[in-house]
Amino acid sequence: MINDQKRKMLLGITGGIAAYKSAFLLRLLKKTDVDIQVVMTEAATQFISKLTMQALSGKPVYDNMWAEEQGHGMAHIETSRGCRLILVAPASANFISKLATGTANDLLSTICLARNCELLIAPAMNKEMWDNKSTQRNIETLKRDGVHIVGPVGGDQACGEVGLGRMAEPETIYETTLKFFQPRLFKNKKIVITAGGTFEKIDAVRGITNQSSGRMGFAIAQAAIEYGAEVILIVGTHSASPPIGCELVKVQSAADMLAAVLDHIETTDIFISAAAVSDYRAKETVSHKLKKDSQFLHQLQLEPTEDILKKISTMKNSPFCVGFAAETENLEKNAQDKRQLKNIPLIVGNLIPQAIGSDFNELLLIDKNGIHKLPRDTKIKHAKNLLNHISKIYE
């Protein structure tokens, strides 16, 4: 078992038109906290520039085994040390042949031969090249050697032909890559997470909502996926992009969100209520657009929405429940009070001005053992800190 502390990987790029997809793949991988080093073959630089990959990775791209600044002449050894994974995407037919025969005549092939970590490849080539018996022999050899393979897939190819050989889509490769970095804290566990805001209709265009971006809930979902959980993400209004690799359920109102939670809660182990659910909705709504001088708007009556977290936490055989307290003042007291009111084992407190629309946050984790302060950091790191804390008190 590889040490879970390793959060480094190498992204290798070989020659092929699919190399342009590696830029999209790198952007997806950068959403995690994995340290990524890009290594390109000379052929790869004919399809996508080193400058592009350097700008996306934020680090110099390695391509020369003899360059002193790239590993002091030992780049083929040093580059892979401490890595959890080497991912080669795209992996050309020529490079696959090198891997199968142990050929090491450039930096990337030498790194792969000298590796002490897992290797994942995403083949990409013309359909006839993929179907060629020599390629298939090489693929079988790599499988026996323990190399992981994702793809290829069928479809239109750059040469104009149609068939099997296209590189798997970046999203698919990304999901496969994440599995190598999971501490598996929540293997075989189902986690339902609510995120974003809700929208309570007044008329055909107006409604009651809030400024929630969904970022914190999405970060928790991302971390839970990486930790091996089956994740159901129930999301309302949002301005961020939800993570890949979970079951996404889109809702609008608080009532919609409650119904979606109830649909999944029976088999849920952990429920994390990170959504900013509207406390009120219009007592009456209309299907058309109201005019500004409408008496209805002047006398708008509100009624409370159902408390989703309280309903779930008070159910018979309820899952482990985690709530959020977003406050503008008296954070510690208000969060403590909310935890007692909801009767939940853990509540997460944060100040609204610091959290809304930002990728950074400060959190208070409050449970029966006291208060645990998490200083300002990225939401994805706080999401992992939160899940680590949950794993300790879950049982």
Distance, CA of 333 to CA of 329 (rounded, Å): 9
Tell me which amino acid residue 361 is.
N
Catalytic option among 83, 112, 117, 159: 159
Given a contact cutoff of 8 angstroms between Cβ atoms, the answer to whether 372 and 345 are in contact is no
Classify 135 in phi/psi space as left (phi over 0), alpha (psi -120 to 50) or beta.
alpha
Active site residue 117: no
Taken in order 160, 169, 103, 59, the sign of the CA dihedral is positive
Q: What's the token pair of residue 292?
A: 């500004």
Q: Which of 140, 167, 171 is nearest to 154 (CA)?
A: 167
Residue 270: CB partners within 8 Å, gap ≥ 6? 186, 189, 190, 191, 192, 229, 319, 320, 321, 322, 390, 394
Task: Strands of 92-246 (E only): list them.
Answer: 118-123, 148-149, 153-156, 162-166, 190-195, 200-201, 207-208, 230-235
Tokens representing 221? 């979902």
Measure the CA–CA gap between 250 and 233, rounded to whole angstroms.
Answer: 8
Cβ–Cβ under 8 Å, residues 114 and 81:
no
Q: Directed axis angle between helix 133-144 and helix 93-101, to 10°? A: 50
Catalytic residues: 159
